[in-house]
Structure 1
Amino acid sequence: MEIQTSGRPIESLLEKVLCMNILSSDYFKELYRLKTYHEVFDEIYNQVDLVEPWMTGNCRGPSTSCCLLYKFFTMNGLLKQPDSPYIRAILKNV
Protein backbone atom coordinates (compact mmCIF):
# COMPACT_ATOMS: atom_id res chain seq x y z
CA MET A 1 0.00 0.00 0.00
CA GLU A 2 1.38 3.41 -0.94
CA ILE A 3 0.96 6.08 1.72
CA GLN A 4 -0.06 9.37 0.14
CA THR A 5 -0.71 12.92 1.21
CA SER A 6 -1.88 15.67 -1.14
CA GLY A 7 -1.74 13.07 -3.90
CA ARG A 8 1.99 12.49 -3.40
CA PRO A 9 3.64 9.47 -1.75
CA ILE A 10 5.24 10.16 1.64
CA GLU A 11 8.65 9.26 0.23
CA SER A 12 8.47 12.32 -2.01
CA LEU A 13 7.82 14.55 1.01
CA LEU A 14 10.70 13.29 3.17
CA GLU A 15 14.19 12.37 2.05
CA LYS A 16 14.55 8.70 1.14
CA VAL A 17 17.30 7.95 3.68
CA LEU A 18 15.21 9.53 6.44
CA CYS A 19 12.19 7.39 5.49
CA MET A 20 14.30 4.23 5.52
CA ASN A 21 15.76 5.12 8.92
CA ILE A 22 12.33 5.91 10.36
CA LEU A 23 10.92 2.56 9.21
CA SER A 24 13.85 0.66 10.73
CA SER A 25 13.97 2.59 14.02
CA ASP A 26 12.98 0.87 17.24
CA TYR A 27 11.04 3.95 18.35
CA PHE A 28 8.87 3.93 15.20
CA LYS A 29 8.17 0.23 15.70
CA GLU A 30 7.01 1.02 19.26
CA LEU A 31 4.51 3.52 17.81
CA TYR A 32 2.45 0.64 16.37
CA ARG A 33 0.79 0.48 19.79
CA LEU A 34 -0.76 3.93 19.19
CA LYS A 35 -4.11 3.45 17.49
CA THR A 36 -5.77 6.89 17.70
CA TYR A 37 -4.83 10.47 16.91
CA HIS A 38 -5.27 11.33 20.57
CA GLU A 39 -2.68 8.75 21.57
CA VAL A 40 -0.24 10.21 19.03
CA PHE A 41 -0.99 13.75 20.26
CA ASP A 42 -0.24 12.62 23.82
CA GLU A 43 3.02 11.06 22.64
CA ILE A 44 4.03 14.32 20.93
CA TYR A 45 3.09 16.32 24.01
CA ASN A 46 5.12 14.04 26.31
CA GLN A 47 8.12 13.17 24.12
CA VAL A 48 8.88 15.92 21.59
CA ASP A 49 11.10 18.81 22.60
CA LEU A 50 12.52 19.80 19.22
CA VAL A 51 11.34 19.62 15.64
CA GLU A 52 14.26 18.49 13.52
CA PRO A 53 14.41 15.58 11.08
CA TRP A 54 17.48 13.96 12.69
CA MET A 55 18.48 13.41 16.33
CA THR A 56 21.40 15.47 17.51
CA GLY A 57 24.68 14.02 18.75
CA ASN A 58 26.48 10.88 17.72
CA CYS A 59 23.37 8.76 17.13
CA ARG A 60 22.02 10.64 14.08
CA GLY A 61 18.89 8.52 13.82
CA PRO A 62 15.49 9.92 12.87
CA SER A 63 14.06 12.32 15.43
CA THR A 64 11.06 11.56 17.60
CA SER A 65 9.11 14.28 15.80
CA CYS A 66 9.81 12.78 12.36
CA CYS A 67 8.83 9.31 13.53
CA LEU A 68 5.55 10.72 14.86
CA LEU A 69 4.93 12.62 11.62
CA TYR A 70 5.39 9.39 9.67
CA LYS A 71 3.01 7.70 12.12
CA PHE A 72 0.38 10.32 11.22
CA PHE A 73 0.88 9.53 7.53
CA THR A 74 0.19 5.87 8.27
CA MET A 75 -3.08 6.72 10.03
CA ASN A 76 -4.97 7.55 6.79
CA GLY A 77 -5.39 11.26 7.35
CA LEU A 78 -4.27 14.17 9.48
CA LEU A 79 -5.92 16.42 12.02
CA LYS A 80 -4.98 19.86 13.25
CA GLN A 81 -4.71 20.12 16.99
CA PRO A 82 -4.19 23.33 19.04
CA ASP A 83 -2.96 21.93 22.39
CA SER A 84 0.79 21.76 21.73
CA PRO A 85 3.16 23.92 19.66
CA TYR A 86 5.07 20.72 18.79
CA ILE A 87 1.94 19.11 17.34
CA ARG A 88 1.31 22.24 15.25
CA ALA A 89 4.97 22.36 14.15
CA ILE A 90 4.90 18.75 13.00
CA LEU A 91 1.61 19.20 11.14
CA LYS A 92 2.37 22.67 9.73
CA ASN A 93 3.99 21.49 6.50
CA VAL A 94 1.50 18.73 5.75
Structure 2
Amino acid sequence: MSDSIDINERGGRLDLGGQFAIPPGDPISHFGAGFAKILCSNVFLAGLDPTFAAEHNGYFTAPYEDRSHVTDIHIDVESQRVQITLDNGITRTAR
Protein backbone atom coordinates (compact mmCIF):
# COMPACT_ATOMS: atom_id res chain seq x y z
CA MET A 1 0.00 0.00 0.00
CA SER A 2 2.91 2.36 0.65
CA ASP A 3 3.96 2.18 -3.02
CA SER A 4 0.64 3.62 -4.17
CA ILE A 5 0.84 6.32 -1.51
CA ASP A 6 4.35 7.22 -2.68
CA ILE A 7 3.15 7.40 -6.29
CA ASN A 8 0.20 9.59 -5.33
CA GLU A 9 2.44 11.90 -3.29
CA ARG A 10 4.86 12.18 -6.20
CA GLY A 11 1.98 12.91 -8.55
CA GLY A 12 0.82 15.67 -6.24
CA ARG A 13 4.27 17.25 -6.22
CA LEU A 14 4.39 17.18 -10.03
CA ASP A 15 0.89 18.61 -10.50
CA LEU A 16 0.94 21.57 -12.85
CA GLY A 17 -2.37 22.92 -11.63
CA GLY A 18 -5.15 24.03 -13.92
CA GLN A 19 -8.43 22.37 -14.71
CA PHE A 20 -9.31 19.70 -17.22
CA ALA A 21 -11.68 20.90 -19.91
CA ILE A 22 -13.30 18.78 -22.59
CA PRO A 23 -12.08 19.94 -26.03
CA PRO A 24 -14.60 22.11 -27.86
CA GLY A 25 -16.63 20.54 -30.62
CA ASP A 26 -18.60 17.37 -31.09
CA PRO A 27 -17.16 14.44 -29.08
CA ILE A 28 -18.39 11.94 -31.68
CA SER A 29 -16.41 13.80 -34.33
CA HIS A 30 -13.31 13.58 -32.11
CA PHE A 31 -13.82 9.84 -31.62
CA GLY A 32 -14.17 9.45 -35.39
CA ALA A 33 -10.92 11.30 -36.03
CA GLY A 34 -9.06 9.22 -33.47
CA PHE A 35 -10.51 5.98 -34.81
CA ALA A 36 -9.44 6.91 -38.35
CA LYS A 37 -5.91 7.66 -37.14
CA ILE A 38 -5.60 4.41 -35.19
CA LEU A 39 -6.81 2.41 -38.18
CA CYS A 40 -4.48 4.26 -40.54
CA SER A 41 -1.42 3.65 -38.34
CA ASN A 42 -2.31 0.01 -37.74
CA VAL A 43 -2.98 -0.76 -41.40
CA PHE A 44 -0.21 1.22 -43.11
CA LEU A 45 2.53 1.26 -40.47
CA ALA A 46 2.01 -2.01 -38.59
CA GLY A 47 0.62 -3.93 -41.57
CA LEU A 48 -2.42 -5.24 -39.71
CA ASP A 49 -5.65 -6.33 -41.37
CA PRO A 50 -8.21 -3.47 -41.13
CA THR A 51 -10.87 -5.67 -39.53
CA PHE A 52 -8.41 -6.94 -36.93
CA ALA A 53 -7.14 -3.42 -36.24
CA ALA A 54 -10.66 -2.04 -35.79
CA GLU A 55 -11.68 -4.85 -33.46
CA HIS A 56 -8.53 -5.10 -31.35
CA ASN A 57 -6.92 -1.64 -31.40
CA GLY A 58 -9.80 0.70 -32.17
CA TYR A 59 -10.78 0.95 -28.50
CA PHE A 60 -7.80 3.23 -27.94
CA THR A 61 -9.85 6.23 -29.06
CA ALA A 62 -13.32 4.96 -29.92
CA PRO A 63 -15.18 2.62 -27.57
CA TYR A 64 -17.87 0.40 -29.08
CA GLU A 65 -20.72 2.64 -27.99
CA ASP A 66 -19.15 5.56 -29.88
CA ARG A 67 -18.35 3.43 -32.91
CA SER A 68 -22.06 2.89 -33.46
CA HIS A 69 -21.94 6.35 -35.10
CA VAL A 70 -19.55 5.11 -37.81
CA THR A 71 -21.55 4.42 -40.98
CA ASP A 72 -18.70 3.80 -43.44
CA ILE A 73 -14.98 3.01 -43.40
CA HIS A 74 -13.04 3.53 -46.62
CA ILE A 75 -9.40 2.45 -46.83
CA ASP A 76 -7.51 3.83 -49.82
CA VAL A 77 -4.40 1.67 -50.14
CA GLU A 78 -2.91 3.69 -53.01
CA SER A 79 -2.88 7.00 -51.12
CA GLN A 80 -2.56 5.32 -47.69
CA ARG A 81 -5.63 7.09 -46.39
CA VAL A 82 -8.48 6.03 -44.11
CA GLN A 83 -11.83 7.83 -44.20
CA ILE A 84 -14.47 7.37 -41.53
CA THR A 85 -18.01 8.63 -42.19
CA LEU A 86 -20.21 9.31 -39.18
CA ASP A 87 -23.99 9.21 -38.94
CA ASN A 88 -24.07 13.01 -38.61
CA GLY A 89 -22.55 13.33 -42.10
CA ILE A 90 -19.06 14.30 -40.95
CA THR A 91 -16.14 12.51 -42.61
CA ARG A 92 -12.81 12.22 -40.82
CA THR A 93 -9.66 11.37 -42.78
CA ALA A 94 -6.27 10.15 -41.58
CA ARG A 95 -3.06 9.76 -43.59
* TM class, shorter-length: under 0.3
Q: Compute the TM-score of the two structures, normalised by the length of structure 1.
A: 0.28
Q: What TM-score does the superposition give when structure 2 sets the normalisation length?
A: 0.27
